[in-house]
Structure 1
Amino acid sequence: MWRHMGGSQGLYSPAISYRPIQPSDLDVLMRLHTDLFPVRYEPEFYQKVVTGQELSWGAVDRNRPNGQNDELIGFVTARILPAKDSEVEDLLSCNMSKNDLKLIYILTLGVVESYRNHGIAVSLIKEVKKYAATIPTCRGVYLHVILYNNPAIHLYQKMSFQCVRRLYSFYFINGQHFDAFLFIYYVNGGRSPCSLLDIMRHVMTYLKGGIEVVISKLQRNENKGSRWHKNRETFNLVSTTQNKKILLNDDSGYQCV
């Protein structure tokens, strides 16, 4: 996932709004990706985005002059994946059935330099998170961040994404390898996999339940033994005195006929 950050803002006050990316955005979308990212994307990628085969949200400035008030100034693209086919299946909780679960992978995120520091990137990510929450089977939103992109790393940490893995030599750019961090944001009850502590909790809970069952059985056996002993004493009393009234009023609480 690529996100370009930096720059400064002037006194201009934009009127930012968000909409789906559409076919008329193709040329601008391609230009922005070329300007912002060192990675080159195939034409098929752009076609899928503008035709709705990939998820996308675009940011525009309604106050922008010269007929540019509907031209993209920011964007996020994403994809829905089956969890079982993703690289992060093992990052879902161990007590979930993953056969029908989904994940959303953020592909690219970018903002035009002159529009940075207006909260546009945050709003775009919120759109993805909000959409993910509407899919009952979706358990998370995940992405990759190149090792040196500290502003992006800080942003995702601020937005409650968890850094769960470092991927060595993930990117190959201009003949050089770069590591990446994998971030994930859980939704709809999704959570990280069982840690050793979680496993120990499950074991202790299981053992506790077993111990409680054993104690309960022992208590029932003890009560049966106590009842048999008292009934035997009562029977002896009946045989000796032949007085049923005394037995019915016996303090033991048992009634023997």
Structure 2
Amino acid sequence: MVNPEISHHPTICYRSMHPSDLEILEQIHSDVFPIRYESEFFQNVVNGRDFVSWAAVDRSRPNGQSDELIGFVTARIVTAKDSEIADLLRYDPSKGHQSLVYILTLGVVDAYRNLGIATALIHEVIKYASSIAVCRAVYLHVISYNNPAIHLYKKMSFKCVRRLHGFYLINGQHYDSYLFIYYVNGSQSPCSPLVLVTFLVTCMKTGIKTVAAKLRKNEEKMVK
């Protein structure tokens, strides 16, 4: 289905970010986000310094706009043990350096929304994270009132694991944030259903052994 604001059938493609994307990237951020980013952030993104990013373009756009950004996602790699979600990982020091991918910004211009572009961009990040053998998860923050984004991440099997009070400060007002995680490469939360079941089974076995030991002691006393 074509967005009513688009006069043609879009041909959406995805590519890496280029230095030539700088101006339109800044413009879309300004239009989409209430938070303002430093110019250094955009320079680093388009030049691939400390960030990884993907761009969405509509190859069917006329008038030389076929390679102009209509959507994007920016992210960076962080060390797992030093991250804010280290307690949400089953960290194994014996496996050496382990990392995470943190999504910073995700945006799509108004005319191209509801076409699955945001979903496709997130899939690019997940695919990238999964290709890194030592990567444990993809994670991000969502402001508490952004219901469409919250719905999107839940639909894509991200787990909402924490609410952070007053995380954002926008125009002098504090807003809560939700922390979402998507585990990759076989990683899982310490509180995942599988871990809980294993824990309960272990407790049950331990309990049964303890009761059996007490019964044996009682029998021995009776015999004596």
TM-score interval, normalised by the smaller of the two chains: 0.7 to 0.9
C-alpha displacement of 1:204: 3.3
Distance in 2 separating the partners of 1:9 and 1:105 = 32
The number of equivalent residue pairs is 205
Q: Which SS does the other structure have where 1:85 is aligned?
A: coil
Using the aligned pairs only, state the percent identity.
60
Give structure 1 stretches of 5+ with no counterpart.
1-6, 215-257
Please tell me whether residue 204 in structure 1 is matched to residue 200 in structure 2: no
Map 1:1-257 → 2, pairs under 5 A: 9-10=5-6, 12-53=8-49, 54-93=51-90, 96-97=92-93, 100-194=97-191, 197=196, 200-201=199-200, 203-204=202-203, 207=206
Q: Which residue of 2 aligns with 1:219?
A: none
Q: Which SS does the other structure have where 1:167 is aligned?
A: strand
- Asked if the contact 1:76/1:124 (under 8 Å) is kept, the reply is yes
Distance in 2 separating the partners of 1:142 and 1:170 = 15
C-alpha displacement of 1:103: 0.3
C-alpha displacement of 1:206: 7.7
The range that moved more, 85-94 or 145-154, is: 85-94
Q: Which residue of 2 aligns with 1:234?
A: none
Instruction: Flag the 1:52–1:128 CA change in 2: closer, same or farther, 3 A.
Output: same
**If you compute each CA radius of gyration, which structure gives the higher value, 1 or 2?**
1
C-alpha displacement of 1:100: 1.3
Aligned Cα root-mean-square deviation (Å): 2.4
Q: Which SS does the other structure have where 1:84 is aligned?
A: coil
Following TM superposition, where does structure 1 have runs of at least 4 consecutive aligned residues deviating by more than 3 angstroms? 7-11, 194-208
Instruction: Flag the 1:205–1:190 CA change in 2: closer, same or farther, 3 A.
Output: farther
Distance in 1 separating the partners of 2:182 and 2:86 = 13
TM-score (norm 1): 0.74
Instruction: Flag the 1:176–1:9 CA change in 2: closer, same or farther, 3 A.
Output: same
Give structure 2 stretches of 5+ with no counterpart.
214-224
- Asked if the contact 1:136/1:188 (under 8 Å) is kept, the reply is yes
- Asked if the contact 1:8/1:117 (under 8 Å) is kept, the reply is no
